[in-house]
């Protein structure tokens, strides 16, 4: 985890520096004909300028559309690794439904470091990722919290009440600032950009555990 956290810290610094250099330059955000519909304009402008997220067409961002699991994997990979080349993580055979997918490397990386898990198994018992499925606000927050150093098992992010710990930590760390959706709703492209943007200035943490009367929630 220490190596992961150090890599994330360096990547976030690089992204923020690059962001300061490109603001004001001609970029894809200026081509979107639905800018008036975008609420989180600063977040969307920065992330599209950097190539973290693309429009659904060259001239449309579609802010109210939902974000797919594969797309969010790419976004998180970018801020953690400082780029979009994930070919070293292709061919890992973690999920039955990811091989050959455009986001294969991103998905495999996120799975290998515990950011995202599977959604079930196929008839042969192989894990499934469902790359084109949607993510709730809480699920997106969980992935980013793990990227920031929180350990899911230690923080109670698993089990029937996993959203309680996730939302508590996400609120504390500012990930939900500007997010105008319920935690169980499918996160929109507008809010996904804002949450990634929030993560760029969020506080890295040392592994932490939750306690109740001296007993760990594991």
Q: Are 56 and 62 in contact (CB under 8 A)?
A: yes
Query: Is the pLDDT confidence value at 144 over 60?
Result: yes
| DSSP secondary structure, 117-149, as one string | --SEE-TTS-EE--TTSB-BHHHHHHHHHHHTT
Contact 146, 204 (CB under 8 A): no
Distance from C-alpha of 38 to C-alpha of 153, rounded to nearest angstrom: 36
CA-to-CA distance for 179 and 60, rounded, in angstroms?
Answer: 21
pLDDT of residue 141: 94
Task: Taking residues 144-169, report their average pLDDT.
Answer: 87
Q: Tell me the per-residue pLDDT of 154-163, one tens digit each, with 9 for 90 and over.
A: 888 888 888 9
pLDDT at 17 (0 to 100): 55
Residue 211: is its pLDDT beyond 60? Answer: no
> What pLDDT band is residue 8 in, cutting at 50, 70 and 90?
low
Position 27 scores a pLDDT of 47
Q: How big is the CA angle at 158 (ends 10 and 186), to the nearest 5 degrees?
A: 75
Calculate mean pLDDT across residues 125-152.
92
Confidence of residue 130 (pLDDT cuts 50, 70, 90): very high
218 HSE (CA, 13 A, CB side): 3
What mean pLDDT is reported for the chain? 82
- State yes or no: pLDDT of 9 exceeds 70: no
Separation between Cα atoms, residue 199 and residue 195, nearest integer Å? 6
Q: What is the distance between the alpha carbons of residues 175 and 201, in angstroms, rounded to a whole number?
A: 9
For the entire predicted model, the pTM comes to: 0.80
pLDDT tens figures, 75-109: 899 888 877 789 999 999 899 999 999 999 999 99
């Amino acid at each position: 985890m220490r190596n992961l956290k150090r890599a994330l810290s360096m990547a976030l610094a690089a992204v923020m520096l690059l962001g300061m250099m490109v603001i004001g330059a001609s970029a894809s955000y200026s081509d979107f004909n639905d800018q008036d519909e975008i609420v989180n304009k600063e977040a969307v402008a920065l992330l599209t300028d950097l190539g973290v997220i693309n429009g659904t067409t060259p001239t449309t961002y579609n802010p109210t559309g939902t974000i797919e699991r594969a797309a969010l994997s790419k976004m998180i990979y970018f801020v953690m690794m400082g780029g979009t080349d994930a070919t070293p993580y292709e061919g890992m055979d973690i999920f039955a439904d990811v091989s050959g997918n455009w986001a294969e490397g991103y998905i495999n990386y996120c799975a290998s470091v515990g950011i995202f898990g599977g959604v079930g198994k196929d008839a042969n018992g192989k894990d499934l990722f469902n790359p084109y499925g949607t993510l709730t606000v809480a699920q997106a927050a969980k992935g980013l919290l793990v990227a920031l150093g929180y350990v899911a098992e230690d923080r109670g992010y698993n089990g029937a009440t996993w959203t309680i710990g996730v939302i508590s930590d996400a609120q504390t760390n500012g990930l939900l600032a500007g997010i105008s959706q319920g935690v169980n709703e499918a996160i929109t492209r507008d809010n996904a950009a804002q949450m990634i943007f929030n993560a760029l200035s969020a506080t890295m943490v040392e592994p932490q555990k939750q306690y109740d009367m001296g007993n760990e929630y594991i």
